Structure 1
């Protein structure tokens, strides 16, 4: 699908704005995709995996062209909830396992707690992954009125189980909970299950108070080793234009994720609260094209995967939609980091930002297309051994990266066999297209199509010889070289010196992780009715 096709669909329509003054405390719906690649949404230019509902939120809202997250799920969710870098919290590095007695420190006040003080009803559906060994770590102990979902990193899409290595064996346990009780009665494909639950929350919401709904999907994260990718067969069959068999299943998983966005928006419209709702859609980190927990995602043309400090691991999908936007620009290219969501969402909710955080309130800047307030970002992982700083146009990567996750992957997965699917048909047949028609919030594209503008083009051949190892540092101009192919460390020693000094200051603030990871046998599901339930409430201390 090309720009002319979108103009054909949308040019008869006019974009109508609502006044920001009409919003008092908006409802806020935060949707998080798990391990979604940069190249896996069609508003970034993909002709292979079509995401019309997500795309139309971007086209009629604001796409975040330079949105960054931590490169791993537990760190990114810790930062989202606190507004602080993961290394400040001791939550950096390898993601939290179900067998660890570890969680986001309870001394930290987190997003739903702030929103409760502002009068919001707060609900979490889906993934938590920042602590489950103790009751005090659970979502309902930390500001959420309810939680329906999985507490760990992922679960099987049909059986809701998770497998982990414990005492030299793979053990499996049930991982789906409703508040503090295992949800044994649930059946269905998990993405649909979470969508139905979200619709129920929206439908039953008492509109006398504003709603904060966080829908943290399992999709499109991989599942257990025996069945890593799972999607309804009828959806997989629709992906026959994709040459890679694994990528077909992944595409079907993303399609169900896009359907979910349509269902949620429809529920908000049917409830009569869409005009006073802000919708945020983000990925938690880059996709995992290969290696542990691979899911056939593609971050192409960006360099690196999840679990690497390169752009493919940290520069991710993001957008914001609101009826309050009063500008015609639908692409914001300012730097935004996952830590910024806490103060930005509090600003949406008419609250004040705490002062002792790393996040920056970007709400006004996004709404009115002003320059970002953020000038620098950090990715510090003392557990793995790498660190990076992004400042202005430059990015410096140091330490020891995982080389297998630090190259260019995913181009071979993008192949299409035969005719590409019709983007025009996907757009017109989407729920969002129908909803935008009903609320007179339609688009008129003038000169430049957002889909073309969001494509990243790299002048280089994506061949690099710089991998930070054993004291080697790599410097990139990520504005001119977003694919991080040309190392500038030798030609710009002045920049290396300045950025290294600043990075070292930030590294000195790191709360160290315990090494190695300790998997406690007392966490085994065989002791907990075959579930991954709370297990350390009465344990005073765990020693590695």
Structure 2
């Protein structure tokens, strides 16, 4: 009788857990979305990097689902606009060069965004970190757009210690403070900003009432580059731990990513300590690829993918992404379906039992991901009428036309991959075993198999391109003067071989589809005007909601 009762209870528990994962339970899950800034494909170890160890992020991917074909827009403001609205940035006028502090532009106020939907469902909503979709007017700020609280920076990035952001004006460099608690500058804040954001996030979790619902977005500054005078910043002791990396710049980048990974572990532990981890959906993504060189560089690497941030090539738009929930996926796997950052709004709404809104571009991918089914998405489009390029992926084919910046559209990062002999890189297994996430999983009964063959499975997330970099850089296709480049990105994920002349019918078909999307585009405001009335010296040397003060 006792054994029969145990069996029945086990079956009931399994059904409850399954219903909860599928968003069919009456108990809605909490949501924590962690967003990295300019994180390159090769900047995490679950993609195979031997330089940068990211055990907490890796274990989230291994005990959840790694999204192997997750796409964003190629820049931060467009990606965040798409994430929050479920719409492509070019349908909102938010595409192209990202917002600057002195620009009177913002995510249209008539657009309902993710925290507003979740507030209607009873969630408390908190943003920690970067906003970057409108900071010139109070009506465009996070606390006016559905977030109960905001602690972080409003613009594109800040200095990791001084919390300033600089702009280059015709009159010279202009600097201002940009760390805010809600509507007030957080003048009393001190410390490394990644740590500040981690402490704020864990404090919100610790103070949360477990009987209510939580939506927490942690939009890190890391590993975005800083102001020109101090592009890369990390605590010196963390940098010294990266002495196995040959490139000095890459050492600092690795230390920045290490602090980001620590933050992920601390946030997960806080959820576990609070007793709400098993009913929390965790998403981790980057907003776009790394910026290996050029403007606002951070020495991130998208290797072996082609291109960097600000380009339409895979290194800019195919980015790190994962989805985690307790008991979501008992066997580590990668989901290879197409997913776009605009899909998160309908996907997460479905996961909490709400119907996605009509008239958006995003697809609800929840069931497809958790059951390893085929993606609902077959196309991905990137339109940047500021730079003047247009890209479409349809099934296995990818077409690029218009004009690209060649310096951002080649292969970069291979010269940053060097490892020196002494000290050798830390053992991957040892790093994983010492990680916060490993302890959390063990304490939750979700221990990860640490056998050597299991550890080698991280390489299944790695992209291999057969040709060496020096061979690939010869005769690359760059669209210009009305020409196009066409690739089969399933067979050729590193975009080495232009096949446009072999498939003119496919080129025409994709150009027609692009034309349809161009007709949906709301033009980006041009030219970019840096309004002198925004100067921080008029607002106690902080970047302010200057536009509403214009008389």
TM-score by length of 1: 0.95
Q: 1:353 to 1:105 in 2, by over 3 A?
A: same
Match of 1:187 among 170, 190, 211: 190
CA distance in 2, matches of 1:534, 1:516: 21
Secondary structure of the corresponding residue to residue 548 of structure 2: coil
1:18–1:326 Cα contact (<8 Å) kept: no
CA distance in 2, matches of 1:321, 1:503: 34
Deviation of 1:417 (Å): 0.2
Length, aligned pairs only:
525
Q: 1:17 to 1:243 in 2, by over 3 A?
A: farther
Who is 2:427 aligned against?
422
Who is 1:229 aligned against?
232
Who is 2:176 aligned against?
173
CA distance in 2, matches of 1:522, 1:167: 14
Who is 2:436 aligned against?
431
Who is 1:111 aligned against?
114
Secondary structure of the corresponding residue to residue 388 of structure 1: strand
Deviation of 1:513 (Å): 1.3
CA distance in 2, matches of 1:326, 1:383: 41
Deviation of 1:208 (Å): 2.3
CA distance in 2, matches of 1:328, 1:255: 26
Secondary structure of the corresponding residue to residue 281 of structure 1: strand
Deviation of 1:20 (Å): 2.6
Match of 1:341 among 333, 341, 344: 344
CA distance in 2, matches of 1:168, 1:324: 57
Who is 1:512 aligned against?
523
CA distance in 2, matches of 1:468, 1:20: 48
Match of 1:272 among 268, 272, 275: 275
CA distance in 2, matches of 1:310, 1:445: 36
CA distance in 1, matches of 2:207, 2:476: 56
TM-score by length of 2: 0.93
1:331–1:450 Cα contact (<8 Å) kept: no
1:18–1:323 Cα contact (<8 Å) kept: no
Structure 2 unmatched ranges of 5 or more? 1-13
2:438–2:448 Cα contact (<8 Å) kept: no
Q: 1:416 to 1:329 in 2, by over 3 A?
A: closer
1:20–1:326 Cα contact (<8 Å) kept: no
Deviation of 1:443 (Å): 3.2
2:115–2:145 Cα contact (<8 Å) kept: yes
- For each residue in 1:49-104, what CA deviation from the matched residue of structure 2 results, as whole angstroms up to 9, or x when unmatched? 00000000001010001000000000000000000001000000001000001000
CA-based RMSD of the aligned residues comes to 1.5
Q: Please identify, of 437-446 and 232-241, the stretch whose mean Cα deviation from structure 2 is larger.
A: 437-446
Structure 1 unmatched ranges of 5 or more? 1-15
Deviation of 1:450 (Å): 3.7
Deviation of 1:470 (Å): 1.2
Who is 1:451 aligned against?
458
1:217 and 2:213 matched: no
Deviation of 1:533 (Å): 1.1
Who is 2:536 aligned against?
525
Match of 2:18 among 8, 17, 20: 20
1:39–1:299 Cα contact (<8 Å) kept: yes
Secondary structure of the corresponding residue to residue 172 of structure 1: strand
Deviation of 1:538 (Å): 4.2
Who is 2:306 aligned against?
303
Secondary structure of the corresponding residue to residue 537 of structure 1: helix
Secondary structure of the corresponding residue to residue 425 of structure 1: helix
2:63–2:332 Cα contact (<8 Å) kept: no
Secondary structure of the corresponding residue to residue 337 of structure 2: strand
- For each residue in 1:459-501, what CA deviation from the matched residue of structure 2 results, as whole angstroms up to 9, or x when unmatched? 2342342001111100000000000010000011011011111
CA distance in 1, matches of 2:490, 2:305: 12
Who is 2:8 aligned against?
none
